[in-house]
Chain A
Amino acid sequence: MIAQVLLNGLLLGGLYACIAAGFSLLWGVMNVINLLHGTLVVLGGYLAWMAFYFFGVHPLVALPAVALLVGLFGASLQAGVLGRVVGAPVLVTLVITFGLDLITRNGLLLSFGADFRTIRPSWTLGTAEVGGLKIPLDRTIAASAALAMTLALYLLLRRSWLGRAIIAVRMDRDAAALMGVRVRHAFTAAFALSAALAGAAGALLGLVFPISPLQSDGYLGTAFTVCVLGGLGSVVGAVVGGVVLGLVESIAGFALGAENASIVSFVLLILLLAVRPEGLLGRRGYA
């Protein structure tokens, strides 16, 4: 039973890592907390649902297209709105992303209504049983895909020219500009990557949970908590934080009842902020 709880937590953690990695990137690189992030996850879920409902495409197949669309949406927001207030005080960027969130949510609500949508592909892998442990295979694939994308982000930041440029801007904006990095483009690319990952996570979550606009707060809170748990701006931190949060929520849900799981994670968030704001790993990450 305990093993089952831990397994569920791990699988949840993979998806959380994917949500938080992009959020953490933006926070680290642009010093912007994107209050729109949860809604981008939901948007990804709806796009996957549309692909499934209208064209019968499985979310795993639609994944690249969903990520691309949500990424483009993010890039256009950055280029059109947030790029104009680079370096503004905390409150200004928070309020702007909140306003954008209101607009996007209203759009989603008008297009899809408030009721839950579910994606139930006709072929599922079902569950495998290994020594009494029930392994939900669809969920495992979703979690693995999420982790794979998080790893892809890590490699991109480490190995590619674009990634190095984004990290350089994060370390020192002015110095990066002097070295010939186009800071505006690096910001737009960072936002696009962050949004693409959020959208992809949404599509994968659509395989596991029903989709509704009301969930975006929850996903945003998850991204916050994972970032604070794992430390800001590092992909490795997001993975560690995601897995820890997944385990904590899963165990808290088992011990105290599912409805109290989110209280536990938010109380954990506040306490961690107070005691160890630099995260469990305890170092500022640059990739």
Chain B
Amino acid sequence: MSERWMVGFATTAAIGAALGLLYWAGAYELRLGTILAMYIALATGWNLIGGMAGYPSFATAAFFGLGAYAGTLTQVKGVPMVLAWTFAAVVAATVALAIGWIVLRLRGHYFAIASFAVVIVLREVATNWTGLTGGGMGVSLPMLQSSMLAQARLFFAAQAVLAALAVAISLFVAYSKLGFALGCIRQNESAAGMLGLDARRAKTAAFCISSAITGAAGAIYASSIFYIDPSDVFDILLSVKPIIMAMLGGAGTVAGPILGATLFMILEQTVWANFLSVHSAILGALVVVIAMFVPRGLFGRRLRRRLA
């Protein structure tokens, strides 16, 4: 099958599955679908900076939490939901621009640590700025007046649209000049710079787009559970899971994070359902095994070209 056909087929299947869930599924299946869509959005978002540009970012949780707080606090003030989500994406992108200016000068371990530190700083700020964020007590959103099922449908639709948007952006970036620039940066940034590529601009653009997607995912997540606190939305696991997903499917490709997120979600749900008290140990073992034995992803070889 040619690439174009595969994309067409996969898109149709995904849209079909989403519509099917919306019409026939109950609240529980919709909830699973919502998590899957969020994972796809997060993994695809991380992949822009972490996979395509090869910058090992651990900042996902920072922008997820930032988006969650931005969305929640504006909604508490009475801003309509969709507008608040958009606002959250804008806030995340703006903050990413400022933070990126500092941390994107660093490479390798230093970048990884700095991005890690960003999560901790934002979490501490959210915990201690009690006047704005409610501190460790968290913030609650007013409950919606609709039925459980209608709410589940709404939030599933929102995350699914975001995931689709993320994948579309990722596809667009992969085939654009930006994607080419990111590939050059991943392979040899100094050489790319010497050939006149503005590495700074490309990295910053990828970091901001990635953060906007992550921030929006955080805002929708916050709306869907009606209550957030710093330890939940700035959880460092939120930084690591998307990395695992992208690695599992094949980092740096468009399809890799989608396949990886799906597979990871299935594994995670199985582990959760069967081994509650040791689930994080099993998750850890899974992470170790994936990183040791399939660092290039299960589908990495097949997806070696950009999509594809």
Contacts and interface: CB of A to CB of B under 8 A. Distances in A.
Contact of A221 (B102, B117, B277, B280): B117
B117 A102 contact: no
B280 A96 contact: no
Contacts of B125: 263
A274 to B, nearest CB: 4
A92 B128 contact: no
10 contacts: A91-B50, A91-B243, A91-B247, A95-B243, A96-B291, A100-B284, A260-B124, A263-B124, A263-B125, A277-B110
A100 B288 CA distance: 7
Interface string A271-284: 10110010000000
Nearest to A214: B231
A273 B128 contact: no
A283 to B, nearest CB: 17
**Could you tell me the dominant secondary structure of chain B's interface residues?**
helix
A152 interface: no
A81 interface: yes
Interface of B: 50, 56, 58, 102-103, 105-106, 108-110, 112-114, 116-118, 120-121, 124-125, 127-128, 236, 240, 243-244, 247, 251, 277-281, 283-288, 290-292, 295
Given A90-B112, A103-B285, A110-B277, A277 B120 contact: no
A114 interface: no
Interface of A: 27, 31, 33, 81, 84-85, 88-92, 94-96, 98-103, 105-107, 110, 217, 221, 224, 228, 259-260, 262-263, 266-267, 269-271, 273-274, 277
Contact of A95 (B103, B116, B287): B287
A90 B103 CA distance: 16
Contact of B102 (A85, A88, A274): A274
Contact of B114 (A101, A110, A262, A273): A273
B244 A95 contact: yes
Contacts of A81: 288, 292
B284 A106 contact: yes
Given A99-B287, A266-B117, A94 B244 contact: no
Nearest to B283: A102
B55 to A, nearest CB: 10
Contacts of A270: 102-103, 114, 117-118, 121
A95 B284 contact: no
B102 A96 contact: no
Contacts of B295: 88-89, 91-92
B280 A106 contact: yes
A107 B285 CA distance: 12
B277 to A, nearest CB: 7
A115 B113 CA distance: 29
Given A102-B284, A274-B103, A277-B106, A85 B113 contact: no
A273 B103 contact: yes
